[in-house]
Each structure stands twice: as C-alpha cells, then as structure tokens.
A and B are shown apart, each in its own frame.
Chain A
Amino acid sequence: MLTLSPRVSQKIAWVFIWGGGAITVLILVVIIGYVLVQGIPSISLDFLLTPPEGGMSGEGGISTVIVATLYLLGLTVVILVPIGLGAAIYLAEYAPDNRFTGLIRYGIEVLAGVPSIIFGLFGFALFVTALHFNFSILSGALTLVCLLLPTMIRTSEEAIRAVPYAHREAALALGATRWQVIWRVLLPTALPGIVTAIILCVGRAIEETACLFVTMGGCKGMPTSLLSCGRTLSLHVYYLATETNNFEGALATAAVLIITILVINSITNLLSSRFQRKMRGAT
C-alpha cells in the first residue's frame, strides 16, 4: 500500500471535509430552493384568503387552513406553557437531588425520543376515542402538548437556571419567600429565554404532521369551535400532494410553511442571543 506523506493525506482529507460541507449546503439549497422557486409564484393574497375547494381538484386557497393552524397553535400554547413552565420551575428550583427527581428527568428524556406517530396513536386512543373529543382541534392540541412537553421543559429550565445566583440571593436576603423570588425575580428575568422556548415549541408544532394526521380529521372547512376538525399547513401540503394532482398548490403551501418557519427561526435566534448577552452582562 502506498504510504502518502502527511501533507498529502491532509490535502486529500481536506477535499472530503469541504466536500461534505458543500454537499450538505447543496441539499439544503435544492430543497428550499425548489420549494420556494416553484411555490412562491402561486402565492397571492387571494391564495391566502380564499378557502380550499372541495372535490378532487384541490383548487382554492388556504384561508381555513391558516385559521385552523392558528387555533391549534393557540390552544397548544395555552395548555403547554403552564404545565411546561411549572415543571421547569420545579426542576430548576425545588427539586431535591434524589431518585424521584431522577425518575422525572428520565421520563422527560424518554418522552423526547418517542416518534410522533406513536403520539398520534396515543392521541387517537385517548383523546379522539376514549374521551370522545373526536377528530378535532382539541384532540390535536392535547396530543401536541404531550409531544412538546420535553422541549418546553428543557428549554425553559435552561432559561431559568441561566439567571445568575446573585439575583436569588438578593431577593432572599430581602425576606422574600421562595415563590416570591421565582415569581417576581426569576421569571421576569428569564422571560426572553422562556419566550424563546415557547417560540421554539411553536416552530416544532407547525412542522408536525404524523401525530395530527390521526387526531385532527383533515377536513377543509373553517373551524367553528375547538371541537371542529381541521387541517394544518403541513397536513394540507400532504393532502394536496397525495390526494390531488395539484402539486402547484402543494408547493405553494409548502413555501408559505417554509417562510413561516424561517421567520420563526430568525426570531428565536435573535431573542436567544439577546437573552444570553443580557445574562452575561448581569454577572
């Protein structure tokens, strides 16, 4: 076997390494580029404001889909934040270092790894069937909450822990109860981090398809209550792509979806870097 000089093998390795980076970027560009280039031309105000038509044509817009998505996200956040934040506060401030806490953390870790379709099965068995919520935004939201709990708890806990200890000491020295410290000092200080956590969860919720596929019902009408069935943007992309031949519509909806996610990502990044700077500056 030919032995190469270290310099030469480094050069070869560099080619592969840069190649790897280039291919990764290429994949990204191809996917996002294709969707945006094909999809954006079909997006118009009309598209956003008219409801999808029935039948097999898949024509029409996505107004009801947008509304249903917003309902779903709203409901999910309202339920997720109290529970997730509460758990994060417990883990950051109250939890003793014992087995029980270890068990809770273990539960959160495991939950984080469960595939989305299993949450779908669970949601279908519990919320849709056993609790008789049927295919509805409510069932979808509750399922999403279960899916997102680990993310919300982890990120919020990090935000709360990031608050410098000096803050706590100062408040306690002034005679505050533990809860007062949390409510009046920690949470307000950690707020940007917590908001980042919420937005992160919203971002993940928007992408979700599999678990909503079997809990939301996929109907295309305008939802009138939390018990209406509905479709999210992701689901609509799926239905358009597979059910109808309207690939244009599917790509347009996908473009809307990607743009939304890009916006959410940027906001998250901005907020989190501001929060980190603020925390670093305070010590």
Chain B
Amino acid sequence: MNRKQLSKGLTLVTAAVLAVAVALTGCTGNGGTTTISMAGSTTVQPVAEALSDEYMTNVDTTVTITVAGGGSSVGVESAGEGTVDIGMASRAIKQEEFDEYPDLVVHHIASDGIAIVTDSDTSVDVTCLTILETRAIFSGNITNWADVGGANQTINVHAREEGSGTRAAFEDMVMGDEVITGEAALWPSNGALRTAVAGEPYSIGFLSFGYLDETVDAFALDAEEGGECVEATVENALSGDYPVVRPLNMLTDGEPTGKVDEFITWILGVDGQAIVAQDYIPVGPTS
C-alpha cells in the first residue's frame, strides 16, 4: 500500500472502528438469528437461563437469548428504557416505576418462596422459627441461638443490599415495620449470600427457593405463633401454606411482539412452566 495513504490512517482508523461500532448499534438481527436480550433480578436469572437454554436448543434454534444480571431495579429500568427486550424483577412493580414507564407490561411467569437459611455444616439445634422470631433475629433484637431454643452461639446475620428485590420482598412480608440490623453482612446477590451463609457457622440469611442447595439448610416457618411448622418446599409454597412467597415477573416495553412474544407465550405454556416447576412455583399448568 502507498505510504501516503497509510500515513493518513492514524485517526481515520480509529474513526472507522467507531463508525462500524455505531453502525452495529442499528442492526438487531444479523442474518438468520434474532437476539432476545434479558436483564435484571439475580433471582429470576437462573430460571431465565434454564428457560432460554431449553428454548434455544429445542424450540427455536434461530433465536439467541442472552441473560444478564444486574438486579430487579435494573430489570425494570432496562425494560422501561427499551435497553433490553425483557426485564426481570423478583418483586411487584412499584407505582413510581409505573409512573416513569407507563408502557411497562408485567408478565407474572413464576412465584418464588424466600427461605430462611443457615449453613448446613454446623447445627444450631433449631428447625423451626416463627415469623416474629425471624423478625427479631434480623432486626437485632435476638442475638443468640439459645434464645430460640438452640445452641448457645451468637447469631451471624446475613442479608442482601438495599435495592434487592428479594430483600424488598423479605422486608415486606417478614420484617413489617422493623428494619434489618446494621450488623448484618450484606451481599449483592442471592448466590453471594448463599456462599457467605454456607461458609460461616451459626449464620442466618434469606434466600430465594431457587438457590437452595445442600450447602444450606432451610428453616421451617410457623406463621401462626404456635401453629404448624411449614417446611420450605415448592409444594408448600404452591399450596399457600408457606408464608413467604413473591412474584417473579418478566417485563416488556409495551405488549411483546414477534419472537419475544413467542418466547413469553412458551414460558407461560406447559413446557415452560414445567421447567419453572423444577425450582420455583409455576403459575400455569405443567402438564
């Protein structure tokens, strides 16, 4: 190539690259595949990933679905701004959010229980907690496992950071007017909280049902103060016996169309709900 032409290149190359990048912004469908972008709550993320993996492999191979985290508030904002095709939120949408994004359409695709968990390695000798006891523990009024009938050990509290949909739902349904103690260790996602609780003895935290695994033990909850202890299982949540359940929502800017509509319809259908039912509570029939 002529040196003269090359020498003009320095800033032109940069400009060209940036121009190409900007041009890419305009293209949503390249060739044969469409992309559906999803972002939001870390609670909804695993089920969204499971649903999209199944959808991409077995239902519509021309679609690519990307799932990112970010949290419920990001899910609402991204959906409202149109930054993503589908936003995910693990809580009900607030009125201010509807005011800001009046075109927001809510698709309730699943429900999720919130479990109160402790690490599975050490034994606190407690299997059941009442709602009031849970509230007192998380507000810092009860600080020793012995006060709820367990071992004589300080309770190590873990919670989620403010803005988390899971925390908002937990505060709504369990804490009432009390606030979570400032002594709690705060984590930016369900997964991080589970890792922390599983790693620290005599700990307590709240976790989405979908994240329960063998590293943590869930307490049975007694909503009646002297009533029955209800185990934290999907069946109990479905039947309404388990007291702490919140909606998992997918949000779109206006009514969904095209591939997005097909995807959401499939999620609400039998096959999609069957996948939901593996770890969460389905909203529709699973067979």
- A179–B66 Cα distance when bound, in Å, is 47
Query: B215 near A245 (CB under 8 angstroms)?
Result: yes
Query: B66 near A221 (CB under 8 angstroms)?
Result: yes
With a cutoff of 8 Å between Cβ atoms, the chain A residues found around residue B46 in the complex are 54-56
- A78–B66 Cα distance when bound, in Å, is 26
CB distance from A252 to the nearest CB of B (A): 17
Is B39 an interface position by the 8 A CB rule?
yes
Contact with A along B34-56 (1 / 0, CB 8 A): 01010100100010011011000
Query: A134 near B17 (CB under 8 angstroms)?
Result: no
Stretch of B186-194, B225-233, B241-249 on the interface side: B186-194
Query: A217 near B39 (CB under 8 angstroms)?
Result: yes
Stretch of A107-115, A198-206, A226-234 on the interface side: A226-234
B191: nearest residue on chain A (CB-CB)? A243
- A218–B45 Cα distance when bound, in Å, is 12
CB < 8 Å: which of B10, B21, B195, B215 contacts A226? B21
Query: A134 near B84 (CB under 8 angstroms)?
Result: yes
Is B257 an interface position by the 8 A CB rule?
no
Query: A243 near B192 (CB under 8 angstroms)?
Result: yes
Interface size on B, residues (CB 8 A): 45
Is B198 an interface position by the 8 A CB rule?
yes
Query: B195 near A243 (CB under 8 angstroms)?
Result: yes
Is B94 an interface position by the 8 A CB rule?
no
With a cutoff of 8 Å between Cβ atoms, the chain A residues found around residue B37 in the complex are 134, 229
Query: A56 near B210 (CB under 8 angstroms)?
Result: yes
- A270–B99 Cα distance when bound, in Å, is 61
User: Given A132-B25, A134-B83, A218-B69, A245 and B198 touching (CB < 8 A)?
Assistant: yes
Is A259 an interface position by the 8 A CB rule?
no
Query: A242 near B189 (CB under 8 angstroms)?
Result: yes
Is A71 an interface position by the 8 A CB rule?
no
With a cutoff of 8 Å between Cβ atoms, the chain A residues found around residue B1 in the complex are none
- A229–B36 Cα distance when bound, in Å, is 12
User: Given A56-B191, A134-B84, A228 and B49 touching (CB < 8 A)?
Assistant: no
CB < 8 Å: which of A55, A83, A225 contacts B30? A225
CB < 8 Å: which of A135, A227, A243, A245 contacts B39? A135
Is B97 an interface position by the 8 A CB rule?
no
Query: B66 near A241 (CB under 8 angstroms)?
Result: no
Enumerate B1-49 residues with CB–CB distance to A below 8 Å.
Answer: 3, 7, 9-11, 13-14, 17-18, 21, 24-25, 27, 30, 33, 35, 37, 39, 42, 46, 49
Is B211 an interface position by the 8 A CB rule?
yes
User: Given A218-B68, A218-B69, A242-B195, A224 and B17 touching (CB < 8 A)?
Assistant: no
- A79–B30 Cα distance when bound, in Å, is 24
- A239–B53 Cα distance when bound, in Å, is 19
Is A14 an interface position by the 8 A CB rule?
no
With a cutoff of 8 Å between Cβ atoms, the chain B residues found around residue A241 in the complex are 195
- A83–B213 Cα distance when bound, in Å, is 50
B18: nearest residue on chain A (CB-CB)? A79
Is A82 an interface position by the 8 A CB rule?
yes
Query: A55 near B7 (CB under 8 angstroms)?
Result: no
Enumerate B158-202 residues with CB–CB distance to A below 8 Å.
Answer: 187-192, 194-195, 198
CB < 8 Å: which of B33, B50, B70, B187 contacts A55? B50
Is A138 an interface position by the 8 A CB rule?
yes
Is B64 an interface position by the 8 A CB rule?
yes
Query: A79 near B66 (CB under 8 angstroms)?
Result: no
CB distance from B24 to the nearest CB of A (A): 6
A222: nearest residue on chain B (CB-CB)? B64
With a cutoff of 8 Å between Cβ atoms, the chain B residues found around residue A242 in the complex are 187-189, 191-192, 195
Query: A227 near B24 (CB under 8 angstroms)?
Result: yes
User: Given A226-B24, A229-B68, A242-B189, A82 and B30 touching (CB < 8 A)?
Assistant: no
CB distance from A164 to the nearest CB of B (A): 23
Is A244 an interface position by the 8 A CB rule?
yes
With a cutoff of 8 Å between Cβ atoms, the chain B residues found around residue A220 in the complex are 49
- A220–B68 Cα distance when bound, in Å, is 8
With a cutoff of 8 Å between Cβ atoms, the chain A residues found around residue B136 in the complex are none
Is B67 an interface position by the 8 A CB rule?
yes
Query: B68 near A243 (CB under 8 angstroms)?
Result: no
Contact with B along A82-112 (1 / 0, CB 8 A): 1101100000000000000000000000000
Since A241-B195, A242-B192 are in contact, a sample of 7 more A-B pairs with Cβ atoms closer than 8 Å, ordered by chain A residue number, is A82-B10, A132-B83, A224-B64, A225-B24, A225-B30, A245-B198, A245-B213
Ordered by A's residue number, 9 sampled pairs between the chains whose C-beta atoms are within 8 Å are: A56-B194, A79-B18, A82-B13, A86-B10, A183-B7, A226-B21, A227-B24, A239-B191, A242-B191
Which 6 pairs across A and B sit closest by C-beta, in order of nearness?
A243-B191, A54-B49, A242-B192, A217-B68, A219-B68, A82-B14
Which B residues have a C-beta under 8 Å from some C-beta of A? 3, 7, 9-11, 13-14, 17-18, 21, 24-25, 27, 30, 33, 35, 37, 39, 42, 46, 49-50, 52-53, 64, 66-70, 83-84, 187-192, 194-195, 198, 210-211, 213, 215
